Structure 1
Amino acid sequence: GLAGLIALAERAFRARARAGLEGPAVMGVFCPRLVIPHDFAKRFDAAERELVLAHERAHMRRGDPRGNLIITACQVLGWLNPFVHLGAAIARLDQEIACDADVVALTPKARKRYAETLMKAHACTAASPLACAFGRHPLVARVRVLAGPGPVAAEGLTVTIAALTAVTILAVWTLTPRGLDVPPFRVPGGEARVFVDGVTPPPLSRHVEALAQ
């Protein structure tokens, strides 16, 4: 069912992209290509367009569309595990932050303009499970990274990692079996009786129990 929903979402995204209603984004797993909306030149000025294209080229260079395919496959296979979907969201956000860092490293003086471009493009692109959209992922987190990590952000990240680690350890400990149920000792044919000189000895299992004691 989840695979079907993802396929329908990707199909709708591609249909809107062909109509010029999606983007900026990179789509295509094996042959990535850039998707831009029909009003790309009107929505962004020349400097902003160059920043957007640099961001999308970073996605292509890093092979993020193939990474998204792997992430989506993990979500389908582990559809019942909430940590799989949480990890997928964090991985996609990490992709965007890494590409943001590449753009800022190339044009360090354009940090403010780049943040403004993110704000302008935010929520203009529909969700796609495989595409790398410029303005789709959490805006506040990305702008905070562009602004530079502060002590509060560093402490919050440490607390978050510690909390996730504790939850993971608790989940593993809960699912770990506490012991094995050993089946009772039994000798095949132990209840058979042997007749010697007309005397019926006690069942063989009693002798085994006596030896065990």
Structure 2
Amino acid sequence: MTEHAGLQLLMTQTLLFSAAVLLLAVLRPLLRRIVDAGAVYLAWLLVPLLMLSPALPRLLQGQALPAPTRALAQAAPAWLKADEPAAAPAPAMAGPGSRAPAARRPLALDLWMAGAVGLLGLLALRQTRFHARLQRGSRAWIAPEGDSPALCGIWRTRLVLPQDFEQRFDPRERSLILAHEAVHARRHDNAWNLLAAALLALQWFNPLAWWALRRMRQDQELACDAAVLNQQITPDSGEEPLVKTYINALLKSHPTRALPLLSTGWAHQHPLLERVKGLRLHRRPAWQRRLGRAGAAGLCLGLTLLAQAAQPLSTHELTQAMLDHLAREESVSGTKPVGLVVQLDSQQGAQAWQHKDMVFTFAHLLRDSQTQFHLHAPMEDWCLGVHLYKFSDGDLRPQAEILGPHCTQTLTQLQPVALGQGPTHLQVRLPDGAQQGVQAQVSIRVEDPRSERFLLMFRRQLDQMPAEQRQRMLEHIEGSSMNTDALSAQDRAWRLARGVQR
């Protein structure tokens, strides 16, 4: 992956992350009124699912929307954009081997990487310092007096209790605290906190990431509180005494320092009034809790599928679609597909020589004994036209010409191009500019379109295509495949009806 592709990926992920968090910010107050705290906590799955949506299989096929990175790129600050230096003027005798200087590495990637590594290092340092304050006990790890009970670790969780745990809390309060941490352990909340830490490191520059982390941790504690109270309340005990005991235990726990990110605490830094209010509203029937969580999960999956369908087709998807199409065509026609590589070195006026590789694939169109194709490659103020002729002996004979800017007006005569040999030179003066001459050297070769070298050039060409052009290419491939499948089915039916063996 090039530096510019890496920057585009970062911008796409930032857009998806921000969209998920903003949507949750809007839906969260509504969800807290109509569903239980566990469903609200489950809704945070939307963030990683939406960020993973570009890598998911495309289950919904529809009209592709413009590339999401385009809208973000227009609003991005200058330092976040790839720095494209201007091409230096070419010397008078510059040849086709000359290249424009390579683009510098985007400064944004260096800044992002430094911030991500620095934040991960800071989180690891806080976790290490927290563990250094603990002492191993018989039942749990012991923290200094005044600390909050907590649960540390991911794969091997550790219960952490303050030295004054027995003195500060009465037996009923201690039972509720231990039940609270047991729920955290059963739900593997520290593993979800690890995922949140990774997303925070990836999006450290995004203010929404810091807001989302705080709100997710709050919903995590509220969901745990609701689960404990739903477990503890019985018809005999009643709800009000248990809630009062829970509130008293919370009031006795005011941690002197913040817990590290990979820890879940009894009295995590959380607005106490909001948490007490959540205790009063926790009670919901079991069927309603299950329905709410199913609805939250369905909302996350549905929005992820919609986001995935709205994203432009990826290079991998189009490449695989092309390979599948070629395989189907070859199995039906028995004709090997052909890959055409057109290499163009050109110079317009006093500009530097530019190099461009173009690749084309042909399958069922080559079945005919004699046929011809016209290929166009638009440039800045002119167009390269390639005519490919196929004769009954299977010979391919390409010719090239220079056309006007709309690829309609012929400016030069057709010149034959020898396949796999030296370039053909074309030269013309553009009609609208007396000083604008164009020189072009064209070479063409045939390759297996399934070879690694051809696929590499094909992917590079796709990376430069707009989203609309990618969608049209996929529709053309799918349409050709449908025609091939229909003809194959018709041929099989015809042979079956007449008892003809192929």
Q: Tell whether the structures are fold-level matches, with TM greater than 0.5.
A: yes
Change (3 A) 1:70 1:122: same
Which residue identity lines up with residue 129 of structure 2 in the other structure? A
Residue 23 of structure 1 deviates from its aligned partner by 3.7
Corresponding position of 2:277: 144
Instruction: Say whether residues 1:20 and 2:152 are aligned partners.
Output: no
Instruction: Say whether residues 1:111 and 2:228 are aligned partners.
Output: no
Aligned-partner SS, 1:36: strand
Instruction: Say whether residues 1:61 and 2:193 are aligned partners.
Output: no
Corresponding position of 2:124: 7
Residue 146 of structure 1 deviates from its aligned partner by 1.1
Larger fraction in strand: 2
Corresponding position of 1:186: 382
- Of residues 61-70 and 13-22 in structure 1, the stretch that sits farther from structure 2 once superposed is 13-22
Rounded Cα–Cα distance in structure 2 between residues aligned with 1:184 and 1:140: 65
Rounded Cα–Cα distance in structure 2 between residues aligned with 1:183 and 1:89: 51
Corresponding position of 1:86: 211
Percent identity reads 36
- Of residues 12-21 and 54-63 in structure 1, the stretch that sits farther from structure 2 once superposed is 12-21
Give 2:165's match in structure 1, choosing from 40, 52, 55: 40
Residue 205 of structure 1 deviates from its aligned partner by 4.0
Larger fraction in helix: 1
Q: With CA pairs under 8 Å and 6+ residues apart, which has the higher RCO, 1 or 2?
A: 1
Rounded Cα–Cα distance in structure 2 between residues aligned with 1:102 and 1:2: 33
* Mapped contact 1:17–1:23 kept (Cα < 8 A): no
Which residue identity lines up with residue 186 of structure 1 in the other structure? W
Aligned-partner SS, 2:151: strand
Instruction: Say whether residues 1:73 and 2:198 are aligned partners.
Output: yes
Give the structure with higher Rg (CA): 2
Residue 7 of structure 1 deviates from its aligned partner by 1.1
* Mapped contact 1:27–1:132 kept (Cα < 8 A): yes
Change (3 A) 1:183 1:89: farther
Residue 128 of structure 1 deviates from its aligned partner by 1.0
Which residue identity lines up with residue 273 of structure 2 in the other structure? V
Please give the root-mean-square deviation of Cα atoms over the aligned residues, in Å: 2.7
Corresponding position of 1:155: none
- Structure 1: which 5+ runs fail to align? 150-181, 195-201, 208-213
Change (3 A) 1:69 1:204: same
